[in-house]
A and B are shown apart, each in its own frame.
Chain A
Amino acid sequence: MNEAGRSGVKTDTRVDDSPPPKKAPDPTGRPKSPNGLLFLLAVLLPPRFTPESVRYDRRYRTLDKYRFIIGFLGLPLAFYALFVISPFVQAIYYSFTDWSGGPVANFIGFDNFTKMWNDERFWDSLEMSIALAVIAPVVTLMLGMFFAYMITSGGRHRKGQAIAGVAGSSFYKVVYFFPQVLSVAIIAVVWGRVLNTNSGLINGGLDKVGIDGPAWLGGDRTLALIAVLVVLCWSFVGFYVVLFSAAMGAIPKDIYEAALLDGAGRGRTFFSVTLPLIWDTVRTGWIYMGIQALDSFAIVLVMVPEHVLKVTPVFLYERFRDGQYGYATSIGVVLLVLSMAFSLIVMRIGNRDRIEY
């Protein structure tokens, strides 16, 4: 700030020599050229102390503008650079080193990545992560869309309406949305209990109808994966219900009326009218959910015992806990590349002609 002010003053005194005639038509006849010190003071002090002679000067206005920018944008940008961008850049750098917590970090090229390539445990975890990233968005988005469609147009047709929401729609929205405001750690412990083999709700219910419930989180990888999928779906579906019902609510009612007049049923209306019109939102949601599923760290870490199922972020965390920081960052970089690749693939698959309405 100080630096900016001073350099500003320098350029100003230089410019000062050339255009004196421009200042001449000043009607109030203020002092022609305020000196540099006054400028500096005016920039450093709050606006109300700005001397009259400086306030209406064009050069002061320019400086004032930059001060405004630095004050309003510089702080957030600096904050961002320090605590989001910088760790990110460091993560990329340390993925090429063997840093293990000490003062030295030797540059070792792609060694971490070759190690990862040959690491059986990494591939195991990646398999699970990719399964989650592929299945979770599809299931969650479909459920979210179904609920949203039910909420916005599942109600009975009243007179004069082509489309009507169910009664109490806001209640359902809140119920579905609520897991979004809970901590993932708490979601994980609650579901750990619900899925518990002996005293869990689910096996208790199965017991009532005479089925001996399996050990959901007790050993079988596929069962554990299903459990994680259920939890992911439960915790995110509400977000999509809200997102999609907002998108559906933005569709003009006369389009539905036209479809109704043409004899389209609920299903046909959904696939031919609603879905194409909210497709942009669906695609964005798909990408977001895929990234969330790739990053399902806390749920798996807290809910699933280590020997049963591991996803890549948990594998990363274990390397971090062991002090293999270099290796851990390289896994993080791979994860990041994967989520970008996922976004690009979905963008490509989901690319359709945009429909304007």
Chain B
Amino acid sequence: MATATAPRAGSPKGSAPQLKPKRAFRPRTLVITVVAWALAAIFLAPYLEMVITALRPKSELRDRTYLPTDLEWSNFIEVWKESELGQNLQVTLLVAGGATLLVLLVSLPAAYYTARMRYRGRKIFLLLVLVTQMFQPTALLVGLYREFHQLDMLNSVWTLIITNAAFNLAFAVWILTAYIGSIPPELEEAAMVDGTSRFGAMVKVTLPLALPGVVTAVIFTFITSWNEFVMGLTLTTEPDKQPLTVGINNFIGAYTVEWNYLFAASVVAIVPVVVLFAFIERHVVSGLTAGSVK
């Protein structure tokens, strides 16, 4: 994206009037723009459909019209009253918040150590982190179920906090290691020469500099835990102990689907994600791939 600024100042002939006639008609550019917009529209259509269906009156749910005749805002109030949405939202909030905190507490020291020290088994540790990323949750499902069954912790918020934290730890360690590794250790050494302890140097020098990486890791963990589905489905059985993603599926009955309630609940579930994503969007689009591409 560095190409966005043209080195126009360097070329003596690059005056605006001369360029204008050339720009007048470029069929290729036009076609590309139209295609790009059409594709973007296709990609956006499902979200629109979700919002529109959430606002459809009951009588128009089976219609093939794209827009309902009027918007039924009370769908949101009704779904809140009629279902366990409130409890589900509470569970999801606790799980996502708890898992994020736990991941941060555990991954930050590990990442700091891995980035700063050359210890025996460092490569193995990083490899372990990568390989476990590849484990599919469905393959671990029964093992985790058994473990929490023995601990008598099924249907507990703690269970979901722990599993979500465990699944997100790898990514957090990975991205934080890359981030802290990019901060020159000389800064810390300078602080230590000035009399700070090693811990103090970490907290007062490195941590503030690594803050963008920390924020990315935190928000990413929060979003993934917020969205987690498989573990919520298998480790909780009582409807009011389930996270939002699992609760939403209770609207899908064997024969009928309450589309408007389903989508009203879905909208509630994605709003926090949209807001958080807006915060890290810039980091994600550039920084998420920082460790993977040279």
Residue among B119, B142, B288 making CB contact with A94, cutoff 8 Å: B142
Q: Given the known A-B contacts A83-B162, A90-B146, A166-B36, are A160 and B8 also in contact in the complex, defined by CB atoms under 8 Å? A: yes
Closest to B147 in A: A87
| Measured CA separation A80–B135 after assembly (Å) | 13
| Chain A nearest Cβ from B132, distance in angstroms | 5
- Determine if B138 and A297 form an interchain contact, defined as CB atoms under 8 angstroms apart: yes
- Determine if A294 and B143 form an interchain contact, defined as CB atoms under 8 angstroms apart: no
**What residues of chain A lie closer than 8 Å to B36, measured between beta carbons?**
150, 166, 172
Q: Given the known A-B contacts A181-B223, A207-B64, A302-B252, are A47 and B199 also in contact in the complex, defined by CB atoms under 8 Å? A: yes
| Measured CA separation A351–B273 after assembly (Å) | 38
- Determine if B141 and A320 form an interchain contact, defined as CB atoms under 8 angstroms apart: yes
Which residue among B119, B149, B198, B245 has the maximum number of chain A CB atoms within 10 Å of its CB? B245
**What residues of chain B lie closer than 8 Å to A218, measured between beta carbons?**
none
Q: Given the known A-B contacts A158-B6, A186-B270, are A193 and B259 also in contact in the complex, defined by CB atoms under 8 Å? A: yes
B24 at the interface (CB under 8 A from A): no
Q: Given the known A-B contacts A84-B166, A161-B3, are A76 and B109 also in contact in the complex, defined by CB atoms under 8 Å? A: yes
- Determine if A79 and B138 form an interchain contact, defined as CB atoms under 8 angstroms apart: no
B285 at the interface (CB under 8 A from A): yes
Tally of B interface residues using CB under 8 Å: 99
A60 at the interface (CB under 8 A from B): no
**What residues of chain A lie closer than 8 Å to B285, measured between beta carbons?**
170, 173-174, 177, 242
Tally of A interface residues using CB under 8 Å: 98
B-side residues, CB < 8 A to A, are 1-4, 6-8, 10-11, 14, 19, 26, 28-29, 32-33, 36, 39-40, 43-47, 49-50, 53, 61-64, 66, 106-107, 109-110, 112-114, 119, 125, 128, 132, 134-147, 149, 162-163, 165-167, 169, 173, 197-199, 223, 226-230, 234, 245-246, 248-249, 252, 257, 259, 262-263, 266, 269-270, 273-274, 277, 281, 284-286, 288-289, 292-294
Known contacts A87-B146, A183-B227, A297-B138; 19 additional CB pairs below 8 A are A84-B135, A84-B167, A94-B146, A152-B1, A166-B36, A172-B40, A183-B229, A183-B270, A183-B273, A198-B62, A234-B46, A249-B2, A291-B134, A297-B137, A317-B138, A320-B234, A329-B143, A332-B136, A336-B136
26 inter-chain pairs at a CB distance below 8 angstroms, sorted by A residue, are A68-B198, A76-B109, A77-B110, A80-B128, A83-B147, A84-B169, A85-B132, A87-B146, A87-B147, A163-B3, A165-B3, A172-B36, A178-B277, A190-B266, A199-B63, A199-B259, A201-B49, A234-B46, A242-B285, A242-B289, A246-B293, A298-B230, A328-B141, A332-B141, A339-B136, A343-B134
